[in-house]
Structure 1
Amino acid sequence: MAAPRPPPARLSGVMVPAPIQDLEALRALTALFKEQRNRNLDTIGVAVDLILLFRELRVEQESLLTAFRCGLQFLGNVASRNEDSQSIVWVHAFPELFLSCLNHPDKKIVAYSSMILFTSLNSERMKELEENLNIAIDVIEAHQKHPESEWPFLIITDHFLKSPELVKAMYAKMSNQERVTLLDLIIAKIVGDEPLTKDDVPVFLSHAELIASTFVDQCKVVLRLTSEQQADDEEALATIRLLDVLCEMTANTDLLGYLQVFPGLLERVIDLLRLIHVAGRDTTNIFSTCGCIKAEGDVSNVAEGFKSHLIRLIGNLCYKNKDNQDKVNELDGIPLILDSCSIDDSNPFLTQWVVYAVRNLTEDNSQNQDLIAKMEEQGLADASLLKKMGFEVEKRGDKLILKSTNDTPPL
């Protein structure tokens, strides 16, 4: 294996356009290295040096920019499906080439360098990324800027999300906008056409621990959004996305059991639901039950459905779990959930999620059924609302029974 080459010295002076014949030669080399028999020649280090030189020169002329791109394509072809070449490319290119190219303004250079990184990564090299987090974060930023490019997406979904240690280290260092991007990709992986594999489940249980613990610690920051001065608070918006991830994780049977017993999660969700319910009722803000509250921009889009998702998460956490059913009762969560059931343009499907939560709270739980029945008798629960939700209270002797009606609205 060739020894690593030192990065090229910083140059000064006038940039000279590359002759046309040189560009043609580079293109020809790129084509030749698509063939297996032409790989592993002692040209990789030279190619990396040239690429770093192009980056150092901050090339703007189209001829030099084309040479820059061709050099990266050359390395990508060399490394494709060849472990020996990948090792040599990694030795020469990591970390300088990726630090130089992943944040380049030219999207083709970002795409080609992402291709090289995707092709070269393996489990051992992932550990090196943990010590060079700026490269991993640059990939997230590249996906933000160029969502149509498949290579940054594949690096994140096929490599990063398989390393809980890397994800945890990245999350601590990223901006809130970058966190939202990463969380969106976690959701995409969970709800994708292909279910999580047996190998994926332990990794995503580790992700679930990160997501749940972060939400428990930080969820109250969303209350900042009630202030017009902080309506674009990025930390609050990232925390809302954590809730979205938890909803999807608890909809997955392989992850549900772990989150149902996660310390403090159910209590914090009920507490937050109560806080935003009161805040939305007492003042006019983004959590108010009113269609006219919607504003322009990302805030309304991200906050939309927040109350619905809190109730959805409570319903998921109580699914066939007697301890959690009882805990919601102890925390006075059932009246809170029933009181949240109203028409709200900012929370589509709110009634359906309340129905879902009530069903999971009352399934094989006579104490919770009795509570709702008594609330209706005392006028604390609207009988017409219960009927709308697919329930009715029937009196049998001295006992009140909560039962389902035949016209239960679909979930």
Structure 2
Amino acid sequence: MAASSDNMENINSALCEISKEKLTNTHLTTLQTVTKALRDEQLRNSVDREALGNLYAVLSRLYVDFHHLMEMDSQEEGSLCYKLTAECFRAHRNACVQCTQNQCCLRDLGSIKLSFEILAKLLKISSGGSNDIYDALRCGVQFLGNIAVGNQLCKDDIWELGFPHIFRDLLELPDEKAVSYTCMVIHTCLDEHKTEQLVKDTQQLKLSLKIMDLCRSLPDVDWTIFIATQHFLKSSELIRKMYTEMTNDARLTLLELILAQLGVAEKEKDCLMPLSVAQFLASCFTDHCRAVLTLSSESSDDQAAMVVIRLLDILCEMTSDCKEFMALQDHAGLLSTTVDLLKEVHLLGKTSKNVFTAAHDFSLTRPGGADTHPVFGFKAQLIRLIGNLCHSHIVNQDKG
């Protein structure tokens, strides 16, 4: 314990110096020592309020320095300030690891609010692409992620201060790590109530649309997938509003995600989304399914047709004896629309040589042959959906 007390005294003394003296590289080394010390679980759990207060005082001092730096435009002093800010955020981050006491103390001191104020300033000057600035942004967001874990009060504060504008600005950064950490924070904070806030107006909806866009543009960032599958897909209103605003490219991203997750949910016996989402997708199919017929023309809109094909794939999976979605058998017009579409596709294939022709010889138009064309297997999927909708359903069987 004596060693721990000595360490605490040294930390307090060092932090006091940083908050009062002219900043130098020596102070950066000191902060790095504090960051390293806070990795130790025993020391972290024994940190007193005075030490955390001194750590907060350093962050406050750095915030004040930003004002002077922006006025002076000193590149050298700016670089040191950004490095110190990043290191101070790292120390804050480490202090919060699995330590509710430190999380609550730093929240009470005002570290969350101050962090957002610093992040806002960093965002304004990030266009220059300085690595030191990006490093400070990354570390600041990581701190918010750590202080939020397992602490509802901190989650609520972070959401109130960051949603939607600062979150959106962070997601627009050309820095994959900063974007990934921001998605981590959003995922940590989200719950059913906060998810419903995403549909309140255009600005809120833009955040969810940006996250869905990142699912496509940054496929290696898992947090976007977690946000979409664990939160977005559970809100039928959000899915409906996003889908309405999306381009066909973005819709395909969403539909591919749903299709992939249906397979995961089946293995884990977990319901992926409410029935109302499935019913909405069924309505999208019945309303727009004839767009696939344009594939018989050389000047076709492949993306609109691909949306229809993916909707059909999803409906086939949902109605493959999945009890949560079998109410789709009673969905108005789904069976009759599917039957009519099958007739039209078959007739198109017979009247002229095109992608729906039974011969399926596309070698002249698409390398690799028939099985590489997006419409390959479409008629089989239509038949599969008809079969699923009629399975153990006397009324639908009689319609057939």
Q: Give the whole-Å Cα distance in 2 for the aligned partners of 1:78 and 1:55.
A: 21
User: Normalising to structure 1: TM-score of the pair?
Assistant: 0.71
User: Normalising to structure 2: TM-score of the pair?
Assistant: 0.73
> What corresponds to 1:334 in structure 2?
none
Q: Which has the higher helix share?
A: 2
CA contact (8 A) 1:110 1:142 kept: no
> What corresponds to 1:354 in structure 2?
none
Task: Decide which moves more: 20-29 or 67-76.
Answer: 20-29
Q: Secondary structure at 1:302's aligned position in 2?
A: coil
CA contact (8 A) 2:318 2:326 kept: no
Relative distance call for 1:258 and 1:36 in structure 2 (3 A) is: same
Q: 1:309 aligns with which of 350, 360, 381?
A: 381
Task: Decide which moves more: 167-176 or 284-293.
Answer: 284-293
CA contact (8 A) 2:275 2:325 kept: no
Q: Secondary structure at 2:274's aligned position in 1?
A: helix
Q: Give the whole-Å Cα distance in 1 for the aligned partners of 2:131 and 2:343.
A: 59
> What corresponds to 2:79 in structure 1?
18
* Pair 1:28-2:127 in alignment: no
CA contact (8 A) 2:286 2:337 kept: yes
CA contact (8 A) 1:286 1:300 kept: no
* Pair 1:272-2:341 in alignment: yes
Structure 2 gaps of 5+ residues are 1-65
> What corresponds to 1:157 in structure 2?
229
Paired residues in the alignment total 314
1:187 deviates by: 2.0
Structure 1 gaps of 5+ residues are 1-7, 329-411
Relative distance call for 1:210 and 1:296 in structure 2 (3 A) is: farther
Two-structure CA RMSD over aligned residues (Å): 2.4
Task: Decide which moves more: 133-142 or 277-286.
Answer: 277-286
Q: 1:48 aligns with which of 113, 116, 120?
A: 116
Relative distance call for 1:64 and 1:310 in structure 2 (3 A) is: same
CA contact (8 A) 1:171 1:179 kept: yes
Relative distance call for 1:142 and 1:256 in structure 2 (3 A) is: closer
> What corresponds to 1:213 in structure 2?
283
1:284 deviates by: 2.7
1:85 deviates by: 0.8
1:3-402 correspondence runs (5 A): 16=75, 17-19=78-80, 20-34=83-97, 35-39=99-103, 40=107, 41-57=109-125, 58-131=127-200, 132-192=204-264, 193-197=267-271, 203-230=273-300, 232-293=301-362, 295=366, 300=372, 302-328=374-400
Q: Give the whole-Å Cα distance in 2 for the aligned partners of 1:78 and 1:314.
A: 51
Q: Give the whole-Å Cα distance in 2 for the aligned partners of 1:286 and 1:100.
A: 44
> What corresponds to 2:48 in structure 1?
none
Q: Give the whole-Å Cα distance in 2 for the aligned partners of 1:320 and 1:122.
A: 38
CA contact (8 A) 2:86 2:137 kept: no
User: Deviating runs (4+, > 4 A) in structure 1?
Assistant: 11-15
Q: Give the whole-Å Cα distance in 1 for the aligned partners of 2:176 and 2:213.
A: 12
Q: Give the whole-Å Cα distance in 2 for the aligned partners of 1:162 and 1:266.
A: 26
